[in-house]
Amino acid sequence: MENDRVLTFPAMAVNDSQTKHFFDNRYGTGQSTLDGVIRATNILIAGKNVVVVGYGWCGKGCAMRARGLGANVIVTEIDSVKAIEAVMDGFRVMPMKEAASLGDIFITVTGNRHVINTEHFKLMKDFAIVCNSGHFDLELDMAGLNKMTKSHKKIRTFLDQHLLESGKSVLVLGEGRLVNLAAAEGHPASVMDMSFANQALAVEYLIKNQGELENKVHVLPKEVDQNIAKLKLASMGVKIDELTPAMVEYMNSWQVGT
């Protein structure tokens, strides 16, 4: 909307705050997504090939938690830097066309549409499990899958079997909607507190600076972000060090150090 010049008010991109995406997206989505998969299927994650589609902060969290449960994690990406990061984090990285035939469980966390499409469904193993934890049910091409489906059967709550014309079955969790909300309870309050703090303080910032901000997308100031982190640490009973005046001088001077 900003690029099209139709944004009529200043907006805050709360998700760009470090105390939001580093924690809510990574640890919240990572844990609640695997929780949703397990609740919906009661499947053993250990030893399974888990394909994480997208290696943003949500993808990092899902990959981390899946590996922690003993899965062999494959990552698919369209961003070269994120792909390198996934490789150096110890995950296999490959195009979705290659991963489609290898995965036992697929988790989409891209925020885009049809990242798993009909071509991929055709390549999947019999009884492959597919779910979304990124953005509505559009991440999976559910309309395309329904057209390919010969018969549909609800196996258990949040678990639907799509018998394809090929004779293979695809298992879809939560009708393709956010599995961590559909089949689980979402993020624990102990990680959402920082996200809500960001939202509340973003509103406060907008009010305090009313009339002074352009009608564009803004990021919460670094000092507010840092204050949220300090408050969180205090609530956890964790203390950290502070820079001495000599350290501050060293960091900011070109006359000393290297």
Contact present, 91 and 50 (Cβ < 8 Å):
no
Same domain, 219 and 122: no
Same domain, 176 and 110: yes
Same domain, 125 and 143: yes
d(CA 109, CA 135): 7
Task: Work out how many domains the chain is built from and give that number.
Answer: 2
Could you identify the residue written with the tokens 């091409």?
141
Same domain, 24 and 75: yes
Same domain, 165 and 214: no
Q: How big is the chain by its Cα radius of gyration, in Å?
A: 22
Which of 146, 163, 182 is a domain's end point? 182
Beta bridge partner(s), residue 53: 76, 108
Reduced to 3 states (helix: H, G, I; strand: E, B; else coil), residue 72 is strand
The predicted pLDDT at position 256 comes to 79
The predicted pLDDT at position 257 comes to 65
Q: Does residue 104 lie in a domain region? A: yes
Per-residue pLDDT of the chain (258 residues; tens, 9 = 90+): 999 999 999 999 999 999 999 999 999 999 999 999 999 999 999 999 999 999 999 999 999 999 999 999 999 999 999 999 999 999 999 999 999 999 999 999 999 999 999 999 999 999 999 999 998 889 999 999 999 999 999 999 999 999 999 999 999 999 999 999 999 999 999 999 999 999 999 999 999 999 999 999 999 999 999 999 999 999 999 999 999 999 998 988 888 766
Q: Does residue 132 lie in a domain region? A: yes
The boundaries of the domain holding residue 85 are: 18-182
d(CA 167, CA 190): 45
The predicted pLDDT at position 254 comes to 86
The predicted pLDDT at position 213 comes to 95
Same domain, 232 and 114: no
Which of 157, 182, 207 is a domain's end point? 182
